Structure 1
Amino acid sequence: MRFGIVVNEGPYTHQASDTAYHFTKAVLAGGHEVFRVFFYHDGVNNGTRYTVPPQDDRNLQKLWSELAEQHGIDLVVCIAAAQRRGILDESEAKRHGKSGDNIAPGFRISGLGQLIEAGIEADRLVVFGD
């Protein structure tokens, strides 16, 4: 089965990101495919490389990045939601006259068309968070 995942909540404000991460790992362990993980609303905060949790806490950004690298998962951050929250890739930072980017490895910024495509291409689209 082919899954699309949507994460609507930030990594340290709601359980949704943790649950989405563990669900995605379980899907892959079960031999299924993850077409895309789309981060929307506050979920885009999973994609900033400037997250620095305490050493004894989980680092969800790093976990997502590692999962994407290991399994070739497409991690997409909604451009409009990201800009509102100060998350920019190199080209968006340059376009807006900002001094640097902060998108985490393995993540990319794109539009809602990527969410629509995930809904079309996946057998199941599972949403975590409000």
Structure 2
Amino acid sequence: MNYTILVTGAAYGTQNASTAFLFCQSLVKTKHTLYSVFFYCDGVLNANNMTQPASDEFNLIEAWQKLNRQHQVKLYVCNSAALRRGIIEDEKKMNLNVQKGNLAFCFELSGLIELAHSIKICDRIIQF
């Protein structure tokens, strides 16, 4: 089965994103296919490169990046939700008077059309 995961919880403060990550890890270890992870609402905070957990805490942002690199899982971030929460990519920094964007490496800004496409081609969508 092909899966798309919808993450609406922030990286820290709730269990939504960490539970989604653990579920994604389980999927890639099985015969199922994890097509993409779509970050929406507060879930876009998983793509904030400025997030620095304490040294003894699990770094969820780095874990998502590792999942992308090792298993080629697409990590889509809703552009509108990201802008509302201060997440921007370097290419857009000029228009917003900031020095550097804070979209973490391996994450890709996209629109809800990408989520719709993922839902269309996948067998299951699961929201966390």
Q: TM-score, normalised by structure 2?
A: 0.96
Q: How far off is 1:105 after superposition?
A: 1.2
Which whole-Å CA distance do the structure 1 matches of 2:5 and 2:123 have between them?
11
Q: Is 1:49 aligned with 2:49? A: yes
Which whole-Å CA distance do the structure 1 matches of 2:104 and 2:114 have between them?
18
Which whole-Å CA distance do the structure 2 matches of 1:66 and 1:82 have between them?
21
Which whole-Å CA distance do the structure 2 matches of 1:46 and 1:2 have between them?
23
SS at match of 1:30: coil
Structure-2 residue corresponding to 1:106: 106
Which whole-Å CA distance do the structure 2 matches of 1:103 and 1:53 have between them?
16
Give unpaired runs (5+ residues) of structure 1.
none
Which whole-Å CA distance do the structure 2 matches of 1:121 and 1:95 have between them?
35
Report the number of matched residues: 128
Cα deviations across residues 5-62 of structure 1 (Å, max 9, x unaligned)?
0000101121010110000010110121111100000000000111110011011000
Matches within 5 A, 1:1-130: 1-128=1-128
CA RMSD of aligned residues (A): 0.9
Residue identity over aligned pairs, in percent, reads: 35
SS at match of 1:117: helix
Deviant stretches of 4+, over 4 Å: none
Q: TM-score, normalised by structure 1?
A: 0.95
